[in-house]
Each structure stands twice: as structure tokens, then as C-alpha cells.
Amino acid sequence: MSKNYIVGFPRIGEQRELKRVLENFWAKNCSFIEVQKVASELKKRHWNYQKDSGIDFISSNDFSLYDNMLDTAIILGAIPKRFKTLNNEELYFSMARGNKDCVAMEMTKWFNTNYHYIVPELSLEDTYKLNASKIINEYDEAKELGIKTKINLIGPITFLGLSKRVDNGDTYELFNKILAVYEDLLKEISKLDEYITIQMDEPIFVRDNEMKILSLIKPTYDRLANISKNINIVVTTYFEHSNEATKILVNTPIWGLGLDFLHGDENLKSLELISNSKKKLIAGVVDGRNIWKNDTKSTNKLLESIAQNVDKKNIIISSSCSLLHTPFTLKYEEKLDKEIKNWLSYAVEKLDEISLVTKLFFDGIDSLDATNKDALDSNIRANKSRKTSALIHDKAVQERVTYYTKFQRDGRYEDRIKLQKEILGYKDLAITTIGSFPQTPEVRKARRAFKNADISYENYEKQMKDYIDDCIAFQEECGIEVLVHGEPERNDMVEYFGEQLQGYGFSQNGWVQSYGSRCVKPPFIYGDISRPKAMTVDWITYAQSKTKKIMKGMLTGPVTILNWSFVRDDMPKDEVSKQIAVALSDEINDLQKAGIKIIQVDEAAFKEGYPLRDKKIKIYEAWAVRDFKISVSSAKEETQIHTHMCYSEFNDIIQTIENMDADVISIETARSGNELLKIFKEVGYKQEVGPGVYDIHSPRIPSINTIVHQIKLLLEVLPKEQLWINPDCGLKTRKWSEVKPSLKNMVEAVKIIRANLK
């Protein structure tokens, strides 16, 4: 009997082999055959890892050279017109990355993860046609190795829901066309073996869906599950509950449902329905979104409570989602503190956790063999040590944060801004930037050399200060009015702070795929957060000492620090965020005491932390706003607080943004004219706004005219007194040769506008 299951496995490779070979291929340093060779080796290794851990349901088609949504588009023949002349890998990578004639397809976030998928482009005039070769080949590849896989597919309703129409319409209008290709696909798959399990990923079911979408579930799965008797379909959801869909799915002929009981504990409400339907329950109980060792005993308890409703023989134990969202293996973590490492578990380790909990749940503690008994004991010990370790629990922090009373800064915005304008004396349409300047190879090299102890602190400091000097000289010469120091000392806006906060850990090899060949290595919060000493004050005061103009201090906000880290799971997220906020409020206090008059608190990831379900949004907003306000609560009335957000869609959240009570917010609207700014006017937004006037994500240098035009558009919406002028994000990814002329043009444009306004 099959007892356990993995939704999907990471594919980048334990040493990011896939990344390396892809990037080599793109740079024309190796052939596609080489890419395929590495891909085959990786698949084989990944299947074997799962098999060796005793996982019963191992997937095929979870592998991809770039992205599974892109793969699905190819499988269905959904190829945008502009790529139609291309074939094979040239077609595939052009769709993903563009080529000299065609722009790439759009990419966007996969639900609330940091994985990005390619957005399929659909149109009414398209004809879709099956190309099942990838699926068939991968299935056969595994079979030759003696591994019978379940086949992972993105379900049709999610595929349509996440695609876009290029001819302006609703993607669901293409439902029948697309479903017909899925039917063909299932017919092909049914020929592959005596019987086959197919996992249909339908994460779209975890959103608050309209009836229009829910009404498609029954016809879809009635049709697909009836294609062939030898196919068992599992419909899998994750990241939240999918109770509305479950109600419908139990009345279709599918074989099983995969549900996430960790991030969607409300799924527990569906147990009775599932039980009555006699369907298999693939119970996601081991976290696929985090890096913490599973607590085997409490997982077992959760399973036992599920078993009160669902017959044990219908339960299959699973990861909560694909393990794609966790790093690969702890094997290469050589530098981590032993105690901390013992609390962690990456994808490979999670396989053994699932296997252990399977034995415990199905066979009972008394039938564990010596090895498993040891494994259970050491799991219990590791979890105990987390409950008591002095590395984690800091009484002083806990008390201070619990009894923290300063929830907002003094003074009303209306009074503060008058005072600030008077003291700071900036003009209307004040000119500034978002913080970072180009991270040159020299800057990166110096940082690396210092980190590896190859150069002294003095040497490093001098190089950084020289860079800061250059940044200031350029900004003064160019006519920027509120200056920044350029952030040369920061490799990353979260890591920089994490490294200086107590309670933060860093891995050597904790890479998680972000998109294509790109991976990120999020730091992790394991313990109570405190700030042993000031983190930015020296750099900023140095910079301020070099100019008579105002130097803007630069911090990353609590919500962004939290959202871009792996967060401890032994404490509610909002408490962790509050601890970070309190630490940041001390930093602001220190900056202000050191004479810094404007401080920017970046909340680049404020929006991406939004929950998937409306019901939870209010709760998130409440603590996210609370913690932003706590972090700036130490600011005096005359200290001006800026914030920056890397997006432009504020329609749904404008009230929340206003509630954050920042004096100035800079946002990313350069690509959408003044359209997205209108909401600020509509709701009577009071505070000042810096809508980026040019797009920094492209190497293009905006002309003076373009920027003049852009500023005019802004002035159609908001008055000059309320507007700041800045690029739409930090400049660290750009070259000086792009940044210098762009900023000069920006300043010139403001001069022209100001002259016209007089």
C-alpha cells in the first residue's frame, strides 16, 4: 500500500548544477546536449533521493528547464504568435527570456511565494494542439530506472486563471479549447502504463474564487476523470485551504485530494466530506515552505486527529506543497553553528521526516526499528532544544516587545509636514533617489574581500567611503536635492540588516529557485531579534558630514525584512515582525540623534506579504501597519520619514498605505504614466508622493523630454506641493554610464517644469 507522497521536488540541483549549465548554454559556452545531460543526471539523482527515503509517490514532470507554466504552455501548444517560427530549445528559451526580435513573456509571482512563473499568453484566434513529448519522455526515463512516477500537471483551471489574454478578454472563454487538449493529453498518458496517477495542481482553488470559476470544477474533473479507467487523478492545492473546491471535487470521479493542513488548517473542516466520499486524502503535513525540522510528534498528532474523520487506509502523508520552495540539502552547510543546524531541515532531509512520520503513524511507535527509534529520539531532542535554547529565547527582548507602548510617532501629519518643510526647506518637486547607486565590480570585490578577511577593515572602510564620496560628488554636481550615500556596504537590503541583528542566521547553500536559473538565499530568523549596536549610523553620518545638503538615512522596514526571510515557526509571524520593528525604532532614534533629518524605511515587500484569502487580509494589514509605525515611532515630528514600495497597484490597499503615516512615499509607477496615481487623488491621499519618473529596470536612458512629459502627467493628478521627483527604484543593478545621464536628464526635466510653473 502506498502511504506517502511528495508534491514536487526542487530541480536546480544540490550545487545549482542546472543553473550553471543553463547559464553556460545561454552564454554559448556549451551545447544543448550538455544541458540535457545535466538535466537527466539531476532527475535521476532527485528520483533516487526520494526512492531511497522510502517515498511512494515520486513525481515526474516536476522537473523543468525553466518553469512549469511555460512547459504547460508548450504542451498545450499555446505559443504566442511572435515565436511561431521557432522550434525546440530556441523556442522554449526565447519564450522565457526573449531574443533579439521578440520580447520575453511576462513573469510573475507564484501565489505568495518568491517563485516566479511565465505568464502564458492566450488569444481567441489560437488553435491549441497537444505536444506531450516532455511528459512521455520523463515518465519513460524514470521507468527505465525502475521508478514508477506520478505525473505532475498544472490543472486546466489554474492554467487558465494564471494566463492572460492578449486580445483583451477573459481567459476562461478559452475553457473548452484548452480542456480538449487536456483530454487528448490524458488519453496519451493512459497508454503509458497499466495504471497511472496524475497530480493536477490547482492552487488557484485556494483563492476567494467567483462562482464563474468554481462552476468549472465539476465539468472539468468529470470529464478528465472519465477519460480512462487506468488513470487516478489527484487534485492538489496548497498555501491555503480550498474548502469551496473540495465540496465540489468530492462529487467528481477523481481518486484523491491533496490538501495543505499547515498553511490551510481550515481544510480540516472538509474532512467529513472527504471521508464520506471515500477518496484518498493526500495530507500535506510536513512544511514545504520552511526550513525547520519537522516536529514528528505533533505531526503525528495532527494525523491522528485527521484519522478521527478519515479512514487511515485512505490517508497518504505528504509535503504541504512542492519542496521547490525549500533549499536542497543541509549536506553542504559546513559553517552553521551546530546547535542551529540541528534545528534545520531542507528538501532532502524532509524526505526522511516524511518517511519517519509515515512509519510512526501507520505502524505505531512500538514497531519502529532501532534506526527509526533513534531518528525519532533525535527529532524529539532537537525540538526540545529549540524550546529552551538560550540562542533563541531572550527574555529582555520578549519583555520589552510585549510591553512596548509607543505605537506611533508624535504629532499629526498635517502639523509635522509644516514643521518639516520649514526646517528642511526643500522645494516643490524635490529631487531625490531611492537609495542605492550602481554596485560596481570593485565595490562587490571589496565587500567580498573584507568578508573573507582578505583585506583589513580600514582598507574596506576606505574603499566604501571613497565610493560614498563619489556618489555625493556626483549628486551635488548633478543637482539632486536630497542625497543618499549609495548603499555600497549592502549586498542585499535584508541580509545587510540580518547580519547585524541577533536572532538571524545565514546559510551557505540555502538556495531557493526564484525564476529560471535565478536563485535566492533567504536568511532565516531563528530567535528573538535584537540590535546589539547601531547598524547604519556610522555610514550615514559619514555621508552627512561630507555635504551641506540633506543626507537621507536608509533602512529596510520590518515587514520586508520578515517577508524576505525564512521565519521561525515557534512564534506567530506578527510577533517576530514586532521584534524587528522595535529594533528598527532604536536605529531611527540613533540616526536622528546623530543629526539625520530624513530617514527612508523601505517596504519593498509590503504587498507581497498579503494573504491569499480576503478574510485574513485585515489581520495582516493590522500588524504590518502596526509594525511599520512602531519602527518609526521614535522619529521626532521634525524628522521626515519616507518609505519606498516597489510596485504600483495601490487601488486595493491605498487606505492601508495612508495609515502607515509615512510623510513621503516613493512608488514604482514609471511604466504606467499617471494611471495608477489617480487612486491617490481619488481617496484624497494627504501625504507626499514620489512616483518614479523613469523605469530603472531597463538600461534605456530616458530623454529630458520623456521625463518632462512624465512629470506633466503626474501634475495632472497631484499638486506640485505634494510631489517628489525620483527614479522608480534603487539604482544598484544599473551601470554608472546609464545612471549618470539618466539622473542628469531627470534634474534638467525638473528645472524645465519648475520654470514653466512660475
Residue numbers of the site for ligand GLN (CB under 6 A)?
434-436, 487, 493, 554, 602, 604, 644, 646, 729-730, 732
Out of ligand GLN, Zn ion, none, which partner does residue 554 contact, by CB within 5 to 8 A per kind? ligand GLN
The Cα 493–Cα 604 span in angstroms is: 10
* Cα 475 to chain centroid, rounded: 33
Interface with Zn ion, residue 494, by CB under 5 A: no
Burial of 636: CB neighbours in 10 Å, binned 0-12, 13-18, 19+: middle
The piece of 100-108, 464-472, 682-690, 726-734 that touches Zn ion (CB under 5 A) is 726-734
Q: Specify the amino acid at residue 4.
A: N
SS (H, E, C) 150-192: EEEEECHHHHHHHCEECCCCCHHHHHHHHHHHHHHHHHHHHCC
The residue type of 579 is Q
Radius of gyration, CA atoms only, the chain: 27
Q: Supply 199's cell numbers.
A: 497530480
Give the residue with the Cβ less far from Zn ion, 324 or 645. Answer: 645
Query: Judged by CB, which is closer to ligand GLN: 394, or 668?
Result: 668
Cell of 501: 541583528
- Name the minimum Å distance from CB 484 to ligand GLN: 8
Residue 177: CB atoms within 10 A of its CB come to: 15
Q: Considering only the stretches 525-533, 584-592, 631-639, 729-737, report the one whose residues sit in contact with Zn ion under the rule CB under 5 A.
A: 729-737
CA pair distance 74, 671, nearest whole angstrom: 29
Q: What is the closest distance, in whole angstroms, from the C-beta atom of residue 642 to ligand GLN in the complex?
A: 10
Residue 493's binding partner among Zn ion, ligand GLN, none (Cβ under 5 to 8 angstroms by kind) is ligand GLN
* Inter-residue contact 329 to 348 (CB < 8 Å): yes
- Contact assessment for residue 751 and residue 704, using Cβ atoms and an 8 Å cutoff: no
Q: Which residue has the cell 505505531?
A: 364
Helix ranges (DSSP H) in 53-116:
68-76, 88-97
Nearer to ligand GLN, 471 or 630 (CB): 471
Select from ligand GLN, Zn ion, none the partner in contact with residue 732, using the beta carbon and a kind-dependent cut-off of 5 to 8 Å.
Answer: ligand GLN
Closer to ligand GLN by CB, 71 or 602: give it. 602
Residue 485 contact, options ligand GLN, Zn ion, none, Cβ 5-8 Å cut-off depending on partner type: none
Question: Among residue numbers 587 through 646, which ones bind Zn ion (CB under 5 A)?
Answer: 646
Residue 232 DSSP code: E
Collapsing DSSP to helix, strand or coil, 246 comes out as helix
Query: Cβ of residue 643: shortest distance to Zn ion, in angstroms?
Result: 11
Cell output for 583: 529594533
Q: Which is nearer to ligand GLN, 237 or 631 (CB)?
A: 631
Report 301-340 residues binding Zn ion (CB under 5 A): none
Q: How far is the CB of 553 from ligand GLN (least distance, A)?
A: 11
In the complex, the smallest distance separating the C-beta of residue 647 from Zn ion, rounded to whole angstroms, is 8
- Residue 676 interacts with which of ligand GLN, Zn ion, none, CB < 5 to 8 Å by class: none
For residue 628, count CB atoms less than 10 angstroms from its CB and return exposed for 0-12, middle for 13-18, buried for 19 or more.
buried
**Cβ proximity to Zn ion, 178 vs 729, nearer residue:** 729
DSSP H helices in 452-556: 457-478, 495-498, 537-545
Reduce the DSSP state of residue 757 to 3 states and report it. Answer: helix
Q: What is the 3-state secondary structure (H, E, C) of 417-479?
A: HHHHHHHHCCCCCEEECCCECCCCHHHHHHHHHHHCCCCCHHHHHHHHHHHHHHHHHHHHHHC
> Please, which of residues 638-697 interact with Zn ion by CB under 5 A?
646
**Alpha-carbon span 177 to 128, nearest angstrom:** 7
Q: Please, which residue, 490 or 629, has the CB nearer to ligand GLN?
A: 490
Strand 640-645 versus strand 664-667 pairing type? parallel
Q: Which is nearer to ligand GLN, 288 or 435 (CB)?
A: 435
Supply the minimum distance, in Å, between the C-beta of residue 693 and Zn ion: 14
Tally of CA atoms within 13 A in the half-sphere of 309 that contains its CB: 19
The percent of the chain in helix, strand and coil, each rounded to the nearest 5, is: 50, 15, 40
Reading the block at residue 418, the C-alpha cell is 509644516
Shortest Cβ distance from residue 692 to ligand GLN (Å)?
A: 11
Is residue 721 packed enough to be buried (19+ CB in 10 Å), middle (13-18) or exposed (0-12)? exposed
C-beta closer to Zn ion: residue 111 or 647: 647
Binding window for Zn ion (CB under 5 A); candidates: 183-191, 393-401, 449-457, 725-733: 725-733
Q: What are 5's strand-pairing partners? A: 57, 318
428: exposed, middle or buried (Cβ count in 10 Å: 0-12, 13-18, 19+):
middle
Least Cα distance to 310 among 267, 351, 273 occurs for 273
What SS3 class is residue 548? coil
Residue 447 contact among Zn ion, ligand GLN, none, beta carbon within 5 to 8 Å by kind? none
What's the burial of 500, exposed, middle or buried (CB within 10 Å: 0-12/13-18/19+)? middle
Q: What is the rounded distance in angstroms from the CA atom of residue 79 to the CA atom of residue 121?
A: 8
**Residue 730 CB, nearest distance to ligand GLN (Å)?**
2
Residue 384: Cβ within 10 Å count: 11
Say whether 41 sits in a helix, a strand or coil: helix
Eight-state DSSP code of residue 206: G
Residue 729 engages Zn ion in binding (rule: CB under 5 A): yes
**Coil vs helix vs strand at 645:** strand
User: Which position among 393, 485, 642, 697 bears the catalytic label?
Assistant: 697
For residues 39, 40, 43, 49, the Cα torsion angle rounded to the nearest 10 degrees is -120
323 vs 601 by CB, closer to ligand GLN:
601
Active site residue 709: no
Question: Which secondary structure element, helix H or strand E, spans residue 378, and what is its range?
Answer: helix 370-388
Q: Residue 436: which of Zn ion, ligand GLN, none does it interact with, CB under 5 to 8 A by kind? A: ligand GLN
- Judged by beta carbon, residue 73 or residue 604, the one nearer ligand GLN is 604
Give the residue with the Cβ less far from Zn ion, 600 or 745.
600
Q: Which is nearer to ligand GLN, 29 or 698 (CB)?
A: 698
Contact residues for Zn ion (CB under 5 A)? 646, 729
Known catalytic residues are 697
